[in-house]
Structure 1
Amino acid sequence: MNKQAPNSTPSQTIHVLLICGGGGSEHDVSLRTADFIQRELAKSPTVQLTRVTMDGDGRFVDENDQVRELRSDKLLYSASGGNSGSAQPVDYVIPAIHGYPGETGDLQSQLEILGLPYFGCGPEASKVCFNKITTKLWLTALGIDNTPYQFLCADNADEAAKAQDALKQWGSVFVKASNQGSSVGCYKVSDPEALDGALREAFKLSPYVLVEKCLKVRELEVAAYLYDGELVVTPPGEVCAPEDTFYSYEEKYAEASRARTHVVAEGLSDAQLGWIREASKRAFVGLQLKDLSRIDFFLTDDGEIYLNEVNTFPGMTSISMFPKMLQNQGHDFSSYLGALIHSAVS
């Protein structure tokens, strides 16, 4: 039986603005996450939801294809004009945008300026965690092991030589655009002749590039979130990608994905579970995350565990791990989110 979120909720209507899309490479996945959130919030009689999709020009378009504007008086207006009497109040915002400008912290900064409470991490934590290089720097500062890497700051011969040295030393590497999410701009390289091409593609997406040691690993994920004021870290689940392919963005989110997921990973020792839990708590607190995160780990054949990624707004599609792990913990998502909303606006 699912545990309901504690604390009774008030009866007054709360006006929630759900923002999705973004116009970037993760636009479609953001729409699917918003579908899930919209279905869950439909269960709450005290929430009145308005959904808008951000397009590539940063405009908010509602479900009637009308452009809307969120202004400093916390009202959502029609961009075509009209008086304030037709505007909708906004009490709380759910920025369900993967990638830019949601996970980068840009949208959250605007909401902070407007004085609107919102679901998810703040601008600084979002910005730090979205950039793969700054994430590694912070993890090291917090004493959390992460995979060996080389940091490239320019698309030139000297930096490419550093990447070739890393490939020679490690045998196989991942080339990753530093500020793209969900495997966008990630390339697995074992051939020196293919490295320059991968670097060029990654630099098209980011001014900084990460060259990371390729390891044979199990991919583990935990959901870390606040529930009734307490930090919950679930037991790790596991993503098993097909052995013949890199776990790419397409493989991660395609409905026909061949990847298999296990809500609870099998065969981990108490010591490994303890380290993952401690590292997750240290990351959540040290990076000053808020409300929710999905924290990903690598477990090598030698038993070493590395924290790979901190995702400040995890996907919530039909195959996403975060809602599955929350449910497995005995928590109902609609009650969990409803409690956060009511607490923020009370």
Structure 2
Amino acid sequence: MTHNHNNIQVLLICGGGGSEHDVSLRTADFIQRELAGAPDIQLTRVTMNENGQLLDSDGMLRELRSDKLLYSASGSAQPVDYVIPSIHGYPGETGDLQSQLEILGLPYYGCGSEASKICFNKITTKLWLTALGVDNTPYQFLCTNTAEETAKAKDALQQWGTVFVKASNQGSSVGCYKVSDEEALEQALNDAFRLSPYVLVEKCLKVRELEVAAYTYEGELVITAPGEVCAPADTFYSYEEKYAEGSRALTHVVAEGLSDGQLGWIYEAAKRAFIGLQLEDLSRIDFFLTDDGEIYLNEVNTFPGMTSISMFPKMLQNNGHDFCTYLTALIRAAV
């Protein structure tokens, strides 16, 4: 492979071997297509397997070392100037991969290791949001599967009628159960504690699901108008529903019928979260609007899906911004 020394050598890492492996490949496809039009960027794509090994398109092992070179099995190496960690869930969205890249001194796309870790853990996110003065869904936090702690969950169920039980550090709707009676609650708590050392019990609300794309464009923080995800009536928007090609969830790039006050609140809350959590480059910030007109910040996605049907790229484009221009500007600025 010839390297023009003026080119920026970008390493795209996707996969990860976890539950979101396949979606992460689709996001990488999207990024690869978008960057194809940038003449000064030379992209090398590798897929990470469940053991953290990097494989190229031929299935051959590649290794990124502290000299910032990507080695192949034959011993040849190529320089790496910038990394795009296109991995949803572990280890990309959890901050682990970012920590490794920081140790290697390599600039990369997206939020830092600390912000990623905070936002991936549903409980830490809520503690931070509360500290930043941003309203979030009412919840109870359980740190052990003992009678004393699970009593909090039973109280919450009695008080709220229906709750979501969530494993705290699983990605997109994985380890998330909707519960309306005590028997189901016990089962859900056991399942959630198997996946995670901490469990969140959250009030189930009748809501509209709104989301904004927040990103840095030419040095400025941009927050789009909220889009809306309308899950079909009667289904909980599960992981499969979210990513299935035949997903019945409808999305509207711009949510309808929001008042200026609601739009203003969402904008300010998203901005406060982006700055307060020290997010970088991109995020998708999700809100709940209840039937009573309450707005809660539900979650912060530090590496949102970017398939052709995903909200983040759609909202960015709808905002009059070109994805390739946006990403190449970040790459050039970092390098």
Q: If the length of structure 1 is used for normalisation, what is the TM-score? A: 0.94
Letter in 1 for 2:28: A
Are 1:217 and 2:207 matched, yes or no?
Answer: yes
Report the counterpart of residue 17 of structure 2 in structure 1: 23
Q: Is this contact kept in 2: 1:294–1:312, CA < 8 A?
A: yes
- In structure 1, the residue matched to 2:92 is 102
Shift of 1:224: 0.3
**Aligned counterpart in structure 1 of residue 52 of structure 2, from 36, 50, 58:** 58
Number of corresponding residues:
331
Instruction: Work out which of the residue numbers 161, 172, 195 in structure 2 matches 1:205.
Output: 195
Distance in 1 separating the partners of 2:139 and 2:309: 30
- Deviation, 1:156, is 2.0
Task: After superposition, give the CA deviation of every residue in 1:228-277 in whole Å (9 maximum; x if it has no partner).
Answer: 11100000000000111100110011110000000000000000000000
Aligned-partner SS, 1:93: strand
The residue that corresponds to 2:146 in the other structure is 156
Moved more, 222-231 or 155-164: 155-164
The answer to whether the 8 A contact 1:21-1:96 is kept is yes
Distance (Å, rounded) in 1 between the aligned partners of 2:157 and 2:93: 30
The equivalent position to 1:141 in structure 2, one of 131, 150, 165, is 131
List runs of 5+ in structure 1 lacking aligned partners. 1-10
In structure 2, the residue matched to 1:185 is 175
Structure 1 residue identity aligned to 2:276? G
Q: Secondary structure at the residue paired with 2:26?
A: helix
* Identical columns (%): 82
Instruction: Indicate yes or no: 2:159 matched with 1:165.
Output: no
| Contact 1:253 1:319 (8 Å CA) reproduced | no
Unaligned runs of 5+ in 2: none
Post-superposition offset of 1:189? 0.6
Q: Does 1:75 align with 2:69?
A: yes
Please state if 1:194 is matched with 2:184: yes
Cα RMSD (Å) of the superposition?
0.9
- Displacement after TM superposition at 1:226 (Å): 0.5
Spell out, residue by residue over 1:301-345, the C-alpha distance to the aligned partner (whole angstroms, 9 max, x if none). Answer: 110000000000100112210000000000000111011101110
User: Which one of the candidate residues 298, 317, 331 is aligned to 1:308?
Assistant: 298
Q: Secondary structure at the match of 2:264?
A: helix
Q: Deviations along 1:27-63, whole A, 9 cap, x unmatched?
A: 1111111111011111111111111111011100110
Distance 2:118 2:54 in 1: 26
* Large movers: runs of 4+ above 4 Å: none
CA contact (8 A) 1:131 1:179 kept: yes
The amino acid that maps onto 1:54 is: M
Cα distance, 1:81 vs structure 2: 4.2
CA separation in 2, counterparts of 1:31 and 1:158?
43
The TM-score normalised by the length of structure 2 is 0.97
Q: State how far apart, in whole Å, the 1-side matches of 2:187 and 2:292 are.
A: 32
Match of 1:252 among 238, 242, 258: 242
In 1, Cα distance between the equivalents of 2:83 and 2:247? 31
- Work out the CA distance in 2 between the residues paired with 1:179 and 1:81: 39
2:103 corresponds in structure 1 to 113
Q: How many Å separate the matches in 2 of 1:40 and 1:226? A: 17
User: 2:34 is matched by which residue type in structure 1?
Assistant: E
- Of 135-144 and 192-201, more deviation after overlay is shown by 192-201
The offset of 1:95, in angstroms, is 0.2
Give me the whole-angstrom Cα distance separating, in 1, the residues matched to 2:7 and 2:307. 27
